[in-house]
Structure 1
Amino acid sequence: MTGYFLQAFIYLVAAVIAVPLAKRLGLGSVLGYLIAGVVIGPVIGLVGSETTTIQHFAEFGVVMMLFVVGLELEPKMLWGMRHRLLGLGGLQVVVTALTVMGIAHLFDIAWSYALAIGLIFSLSSTAIVLQTFSEKGLSKTEGGKSAFSVLLFQDIAVIPMLALIPLLAVPELVAKSQAVVAKAAEHHDDLSLVAGLPGWAYAIVIILAIVGVVVGGHYLSRPLFRFVASSGLREIFTATALMLVIGIAALMSLVGLSPALGTFLAGVVLANSEFRHELESNIEPFKGLLLGLFFITVGAGIDFNVLFDQFGTVIGLTIGVMLVKFIVLLVLSFIFKVKGSDRWLFALSLAQAGEFGFVLLSYTVQNNVLPESMSQTLSLVVALSMFLTPGLFILYDRVILPRFCEAKNEREADEIDEQGKVIIAGIGRFGQIVNRLLASNGVQTVVLDHSVTQIDNMRQINIKSFFGDATRHDLLHTAGIEEAKLFIVAIDDKERATELVHYIKQTYPQVRVLARAYDRGHHYSLRCAGADYVISETYRSALALGTEALKNLGVHPFRAEQQKATFVETEARSKEKLYQTWLDSTEEDRFNTSYVELFNQLESTLSDIMKQERTDKHTKSERGWTPPPKVFNDEVEQGLVEKHDH
């Protein structure tokens, strides 16, 4: 038992140290896990022979991930992507497998070996790709959707591959390992519902299993979850969610299907369930931990002895496989009209081999399709290609995507043929409202935005705006900055917004600058830069919603408006103290202990003020409200007490 605790501690320490560092360096969590595995495995040697066993256990993270992915997909959405799923996904698997097979055959590798290798390398890493898409917000892009379609088809394709591989058995390998095969077959029979069945019976069992998952998920899951939810015990709901996923995975394994495919199907069935979000929140922590453990085992499982002995071969095969897959995917992206940066995202993200490659390699050895020595080399190629994948995403983020963004915005700035009293930088959701209010009151505005798409959208609804970067001095001059009375900063980039405010106040001090702040720190930065008026983008809406919440809790509307006004007044009085404390602190530690202590003191003062009755006078904003009866507050408080007691 002590050994298990130590191993668990080593894996967790490696993850806790490596992953945050990798995230901070912009490398992503997946590469952090892989590096952690390499360090504790081949480099330091803290883990060793148990890695393969743990990897089989950690592969359940992929199963859970596909269940969560299925929960996000409604059946209508899945039906809508059927063309991309079958066409793009099917062609990718077939073309890649045949291309790799053909290249392998050119190097005098037997056709059965070559076909098995082609099938193995036609698969990509569902775990790494979907995890990275989720982290980087790429799932909803055209490239992300296309990649997901291919990954889903690959998971489905594993089933016929597992059926085909035994037919490729090499007689020489069968003769050498006949005893081992018999033992494995005997063990397989003990854990299978379909071993020894004729083909027609096997097909019936598979159909019944799939129908059982669909029907059970649709009709039986809801009564079960309602019964469990009525207990009010969150841990029992978590146990039920795990029972569902593990049970479906076990059923799929017993009938010879992919557990990942079964749980994905169950997730799709439950996508319209009212318990979907609760299921997802319960499964998510287990999924994340197991996926992280899986990536660590991939890194820890790299055999550096084999790598150094066959360094040229392994590196050449890894680069060759990734290059072949990239070219195939790029060609398919042209055929299926995946455009722009999405084309490169699609091709780069799927260029690696996948975790199911380990499963197929093990299966080929068990069924005497590939020799053990070749399997070890190919396993190393699969692991290294997965290890290099985060680097491809970094290449996409830092080299390819910026070039396409520049290409989108490389159109020349519009010729500004108008000048107005007010210049607005940024016509996003915030700038639009400001501009509409001013324009409806007859104020002449000049709107600048550096997004081509945003400018075109505004012109479609007859809001005149000009394409151009508001930080360009020549454009500001053309827009009439010397004669303008107001300059409104409503751009999303915090640093650019602060620099723009500083430039305007330094160069054109007569122009009043009104700015939108993203958060409290940005608010202080804009004020420090010289802005005449700064407002946080969510401040007023949050006040309105909070006031409405008080009303919904039984507070009289007049009292709720009083409390809102009190909050605003108290905030205004404390704002200067907080700003001065922030200003006096160092650049590296703006929100230091002194600031936090002062903030907490002011929060305590705010709480005390809110408890006081205001009967002296009303602010201007309160005069339109009818005061509550004298006994109203007492009645409300009594009612809340009675509700609490019941």
Structure 2
Amino acid sequence: MDAHATPAFLHEVILFLILAGVLIPLLQRRRINPVLGFLAVGMIVGPFGLGQYTDSSDWLRYLTFSRTEDVEVFAEFGVIFLMFMIGLEMSVDRLWAMRRLVFGLGSLQVGISGLLIGGIAHAFGNSIESSVVLGLVLSFSSTAVVMQLLTQRRELGTPLGQSIFSVLLFQDLAVVPLLVLVTVLSQETGGSFAGLIGMAALKGVVTVALIYFIGRRVVRPLFHQIAANRQAESFMALTLLTTLGVAVLTREAGLSMELGALLAGLLIAETEFRHEVEVTIEPFKGLLMGVFFMSVGMGIDISAILAQPLLLPLSVIGVLTIKGLVLLVLFRSFGLSWGRATEGGIMLGQGGEFAFIVIGMALGLGLIAPAVGQFMLLTVGLSMLLTPPLTLLGRKLGDAIDARLGTPPVIEEPGLQQLSGHVIIAGYGRVGQLIGELLNEQGIPHIAIESDAKLVARLRADGAPVYFGDASRPELLRKFHLERAVAVVLTMDHTAAAVHAVKGVRATSPNIRIAARARDEAHAGALRDAGASVVIPETLESGLQLAGSVFETLGVPGDVATRLLEQERARRISVFRPG
């Protein structure tokens, strides 16, 4: 064996990391959607782009991917982590709060769009099984692209943003039975079609119940144990193990790994570790999703588009039009104005990333003819590329419609749990709990972050709004909407942790008021230098209370003693305010 032989995938890994290291900052600076950036780069450096010229230009081998198979393994991991992150977003409480939009609006959109698109597919000669799969999967939109656009425009909290999110959330939920359905349709050769669907539903229910049982008995206690030891590397390892382990379990059960990853996310979504896991997994998800979308771009053959200059554009327009019109009517029926309903229909008209997963599975299992599958993948990829410019057009068109027709009152869904005007308490021991109780008595909303897993478990059992995590991590603070909070209170015992938390809060929200508890005056000075607005040393309060007791013993009048103590408290606290 050659000692200098290049390990498998090393060239692809290095090239992708170079592209990601250069591409991601460039896209962020230009405010370009990263998903579309990776799609475009995949088309350029893939086997249908510059990669097809490596035989004539040998130096291109170092800058291109000559085979799509070279990145498929990494792309599959990207899809797994995408499904896991979606599962984390699907807590039962959130689904219940948005049930009208999620299960009403979302189910109608998938059902009507799937029926229309599937009917057209059947009219073009596809079997009923492949027509059902194509109709359902093309009714889905791109969560990655649309959520990125909503986040960039800061519209996720608007009525339109909530309506769009609800549709996407139901589509993500619908992936579960669809993945099961594809698997069952490929395995069963006899029986009625209704029987196959029933079998798919039964198999899905049994699998979900099994994963839930395993999670309750094994995964959650493991997270408690690892979190109690406060080892960040072990927490990350357990997160990855849960994601991949549950995915492997579903594969062994005859289902898909993507389904398992989604169930793993659902499993953790109801625990106090949800937000910390989101922050831990985010870097892996971002990079691997880049690989996935780059591999999608590599599969877009420009020559195939040129070979069908009429049918392919008509198919893209058809999908965008059918879904857009269905969504326009549904959004209007659920209370949005005609303008915002039009904008929402245009924004969600494209195909989604799940099409590459589901159609890829269906192709591998023989449910869809190869020519049809490749054509549909091209249709979805092109519709995703068109989404950002179409979204800009949709906003202008929606504004023009509302300006002409007027904007009727919007029906807002209650209980969306959008935190605003709240207090974030970092550290929920005795002091933090006391502050929480006082805030509750005054009706002030608050949420707490605590790094002691056992304490979090006990307090959550009593209904306290506390989550496991490290308050010094800006990513975690953003999960709790730090930008909309009115104040942050730090009560942690550990000096270094409290200083890091102050720096993290201040870096994320420069103007927010930070009140911090300090062990002593040295600790108070460090917190002040880190950016705390107010610092209260424990020794100060205990010393003032003891002094008050002495004044009482000496017969100093109560009002005089109170005034003296208040003056000293104010003088001492002023020393620990940032200058």
TM-score range relative to shorter protein: 0.5 to 0.7
Task: Determine helix, strand or coil for the equivalent of 2:310.
Answer: helix
Structural mapping, 1:107-256, within 5 Å? 114-162=131-179, 206-218=204-216, 220-256=218-254
Q: Please state if 1:554 is matched with 2:520.
A: yes
Match of 1:44 among 50, 55, 59: 50
Task: Determine helix, strand or coil for the equivalent of 1:274.
Answer: coil
Q: Is the 8 A contact 1:52 1:301 kept in 2?
A: no
Structural mapping, 1:291-440, within 5 Å? 291-339=289-337, 342-396=340-394, 399-400=396-397
Residue 83 of structure 1 is matched in structure 2 by 100
Q: Higher mean Cα deviation, 281-290 or 373-382?
A: 373-382
Which amino acid in 2 is paired with 1:148?
Answer: F
Q: Is the 8 A contact 2:300 2:381 kept in 1?
A: yes
Question: d(CA) in 2 for partners of 1:217 and 1:366?
Answer: 31
Distance 1:256 1:108, change over 3 A: closer
Q: Displacement of 1:238 after TM fit?
A: 0.5
Structural mapping, 1:570-585, within 5 Å? none
Q: Displacement of 1:19 after TM fit?
A: 3.5
Question: d(CA) in 1 for partners of 2:24 and 2:373?
Answer: 30
Q: Is the 8 A contact 1:30 1:390 kept in 2?
A: no
Task: Determine helix, strand or coil for the equivalent of 2:351.
Answer: coil
Residue 284 of structure 1 is matched in structure 2 by 282
Structural mapping, 1:475-490, within 5 Å? none
Distance 1:367 1:238, change over 3 A: closer
Distance 1:85 1:543, change over 3 A: closer
Question: d(CA) in 1 for partners of 2:288 and 2:281?
Answer: 11
| Bigger Rg, structure 1 or 2 | 1
Question: d(CA) in 1 for partners of 2:197 and 2:84?
Answer: 29
Cα distance per residue 1:251-307 (max 9 Å; x no partner): 233334454454444434433433223212211111111111111111122112212
Which amino acid in 1 is paired with 2:116?
Answer: T
Match of 2:26 among 21, 24, 44: 21
Distance 1:121 1:199, change over 3 A: closer
Identity of aligned residues (%): 34
Residue 554 of structure 2 is matched in structure 1 by none
Q: Displacement of 1:82 after TM fit?
A: 2.7
Question: d(CA) in 2 for partners of 1:285 and 1:155?
Answer: 21
Distance 1:327 1:167, change over 3 A: same
Task: Determine helix, strand or coil for the equivalent of 1:311.
Answer: coil
Question: d(CA) in 2 for partners of 1:149 and 1:544?
Answer: 31
Q: Is the 8 A contact 1:85 1:152 kept in 2?
A: yes
Structural mapping, 1:532-551, within 5 Å? 549=516
Residue 524 of structure 1 is matched in structure 2 by none
Structural mapping, 1:509-548, within 5 Å? none
Q: Is the 8 A contact 1:14 1:37 kept in 2?
A: no
Q: Displacement of 1:370 after TM fit?
A: 3.2
Distance 1:39 1:76, change over 3 A: same
Residue 17 of structure 2 is matched in structure 1 by 12
Task: Determine helix, strand or coil for the equivalent of 1:140.
Answer: coil
Q: Is the 8 A contact 2:180 2:255 kept in 1?
A: no
Match of 1:98 among 115, 129, 135: 115
Q: Please state if 1:33 is matched with 2:38.
A: yes
Q: Displacement of 1:243 after TM fit?
A: 0.5
Question: d(CA) in 1 for partners of 2:222 and 2:88?
Answer: 17
Which amino acid in 2 is paired with 1:339?
Answer: S
Question: d(CA) in 2 for partners of 1:216 and 1:97?
Answer: 34
Residue 269 of structure 2 is matched in structure 1 by 271
Q: Is the 8 A contact 2:102 2:170 kept in 1?
A: yes
Distance 1:543 1:303, change over 3 A: closer
Which amino acid in 2 is paired with 1:43?
Answer: G
Task: Determine helix, strand or coil for the equivalent of 2:521.
Answer: coil
Question: d(CA) in 2 for partners of 1:166 and 1:263?
Answer: 16
Q: Is the 8 A contact 1:209 1:251 kept in 2?
A: no
Structural mapping, 1:501-512, within 5 Å? none
Distance 1:243 1:544, change over 3 A: closer
Please report the TM-score for the alignment, with normalisation by the length of structure 2: 0.61
Q: Displacement of 1:394 after TM fit?
A: 3.8
Q: Is the 8 A contact 1:62 1:127 kept in 2?
A: no
Question: d(CA) in 2 for partners of 1:199 and 1:307?
Answer: 35
Structure 1 gap ranges (5+): 170-184, 189-197, 411-428, 430-537, 569-622, 634-646
Distance 1:321 1:138, change over 3 A: same
How many residues matched? 416
Question: d(CA) in 2 for partners of 1:163 and 1:74?
Answer: 21
Residue 425 of structure 1 is matched in structure 2 by none
Distance 1:217 1:105, change over 3 A: closer
Which amino acid in 2 is paired with 1:223?
Answer: P
Question: d(CA) in 2 for partners of 1:24 and 1:226?
Answer: 40
Task: Determine helix, strand or coil for the equivalent of 1:375.
Answer: helix
Question: d(CA) in 1 for partners of 2:320 and 2:265?
Answer: 31
Question: d(CA) in 1 for partners of 2:22 and 2:253?
Answer: 41
Q: Is the 8 A contact 2:183 2:255 kept in 1?
A: no
Q: Please state if 1:68 is matched with 2:74.
A: no
Which amino acid in 2 is paired with 1:213?
Answer: I
Q: Is the 8 A contact 2:180 2:203 kept in 1?
A: no
Q: Is the 8 A contact 1:314 1:381 kept in 2?
A: yes
Which amino acid in 2 is paired with 1:40?
Answer: V
Which amino acid in 2 is paired with 1:9?
Answer: I
Structure 2 gap ranges (5+): 1-5, 52-62, 189-195, 408-420, 422-505, 534-565
Cα distance per residue 1:2-33 (max 9 Å; x no partner): 56222222223333333433333333222222
Q: Is the 8 A contact 1:68 1:267 kept in 2?
A: yes
Task: Determine helix, strand or coil for the equivalent of 2:171.
Answer: helix
Question: d(CA) in 2 for partners of 1:384 and 1:347?
Answer: 17
Which amino acid in 2 is paired with 1:554?
Answer: D
Q: Displacement of 1:353 after TM fit?
A: 1.3
Q: Displacement of 1:150 after TM fit?
A: 2.6
Question: d(CA) in 2 for partners of 1:389 and 1:141?
Answer: 20
Distance 1:80 1:274, change over 3 A: closer
Question: d(CA) in 1 for partners of 2:349 and 2:136?
Answer: 14
Distance 1:339 1:226, change over 3 A: same
Question: d(CA) in 2 for partners of 1:543 and 1:114?
Answer: 55
Task: Determine helix, strand or coil for the equivalent of 1:238.
Answer: helix
Task: Determine helix, strand or coil for the equivalent of 1:273.
Answer: coil
Cα distance per residue 1:560-604 (max 9 Å; x no partner): 7xx99xx99xxxxxxxxxxxxxxxxxxxxxxxxxxxxxxxxxxxx
Distance 1:47 1:209, change over 3 A: same
Task: Determine helix, strand or coil for the equivalent of 1:352.
Answer: coil
Q: Displacement of 1:83 after TM fit?
A: 3.1
Cα distance per residue 1:76-111 (max 9 Å; x no partner): 221232333332222222211221234445556666
Q: Displacement of 1:223 after TM fit?
A: 2.5
Distance 1:87 1:253, change over 3 A: farther
Distance 1:624 1:25, change over 3 A: same
Q: Displacement of 1:320 after TM fit?
A: 1.7
Question: d(CA) in 2 for partners of 1:246 and 1:114?
Answer: 31
Distance 1:304 1:204, change over 3 A: closer
